[in-house]
């Protein structure tokens, strides 16, 4: 398996955990019937269909299996046939979130500060994670009403709980407050992944993110990973922080979205 194949399968794997997966080899459709409004839990990925009838079948299957969703989401990676992306553009899908995928092959280029960090285990931990996830969503997500935002945050939390224990979340505590989180896992294809890094604004520039990333990298490598993947929006300056830590740019994946 090539390095790009490992990257795209690892990125897709993390988003399948705990969900209903329909994989034909020409595409993978992931869904969560309990949370049909969550993009990451309801989508199409690993598209390899190239013939016109195969592509038609992918869209038909997505329409049927994701019919309860108010959106349609397709993940496009560097190995997807270009005619699939062209079809999405022609159908007025929005190129919503290009993701720069970066890989750490050697040691992390930082010495993490000693912080109070714990693996999420209890319901109280998950509640605390949910509160921080909501703050993260309000800061970085679309401009929507508070009630809808809370519903999306709760849905994301429920979807993330389903990923345990294959994907482990960690929380940092400082000055009597939970203030940062992130997670890591090990894909069966051989690559680790770090995802969902967030620090509350009042605690930034204090080494919290570095500590969480280091913990997540250690978790992935203790499970068998050598290379570890991390992704971020191509527009997010945090990519420079990740590069300074030793993560090398590898490829770009895209997320095409259309509201129904």
Q: What is the domain partition of the chain in residue ranges?
A: 3-98, 116-253
Query: Are the beta carbons of 159 and 41 closer than 8 angstroms?
Result: yes
- The mean pLDDT of 67-81, rounded to a whole number, is 97
Give the DSSP H or E segment for 183.
strand 177-186
0.85 exceeded by the pTM?
yes
- The mean pLDDT of 231-251, rounded to a whole number, is 97
CATH code for the structural domain at 116-253:
3.40.630.30
Q: What is the pLDDT of residues 124-147, one digit of tens each?
A: 999 999 999 999 988 876 655 555
User: Of 197, 178, 259, 184, whose CA–CA distance to 227 is shortest?
Assistant: 184
């Amino acid at each position: 398996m090539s390095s790009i194949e490992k990257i795209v399968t690892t990125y897709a794997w993390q988003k399948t955990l705990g969900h209903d997966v329909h994989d034909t080899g020409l595409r993978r459709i992931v869904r969560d019937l309990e949370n049909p409004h969550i993009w990451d839990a309801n989508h199409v990925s690993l598209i390899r269909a190239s013939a016109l009838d195969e592509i038609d079948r992918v869209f038909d299957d997505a329409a049927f299996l994701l019919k309860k969703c108010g959106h349609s989401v397709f993940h496009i990676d560097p190995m997807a046939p270009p005619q699939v992306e062209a079809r999405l553009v022609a159908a007025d899908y929005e190129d919503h979130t290009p993701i720069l995928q970066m890989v750490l092959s050697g040691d992390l280029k930082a010495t993490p500060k000693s912080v109070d960090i714990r693996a999420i285990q209890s319901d109280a931990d998950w509640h605390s994670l949910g509160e921080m996830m909501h703050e993260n969503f309000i800061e970085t997500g679309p401009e929507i009403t508070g009630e809808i935002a809370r519903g999306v945050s709760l849905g994301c939390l429920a979807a993330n709980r389903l990923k345990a224990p294959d994907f482990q979340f960690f929380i940092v505590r400082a000055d009597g407050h939970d203030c940062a989180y992130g997670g890591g896992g090990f894909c069966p294809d051989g690559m680790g992944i770090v995802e969902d890094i967030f620090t509350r604004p009042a605690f930034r520039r204090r080494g919290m993110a570095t500590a969480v990333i280091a913990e997540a990298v250690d978790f992935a490598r203790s499970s068998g990973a050598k290379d570890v993947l991390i992704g971020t929006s191509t527009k997010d300056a945090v990519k420079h922080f990740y590069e300074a830590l030793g993560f090398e740019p590898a490829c770009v994946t895209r997320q095409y979205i259309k509201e129904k």
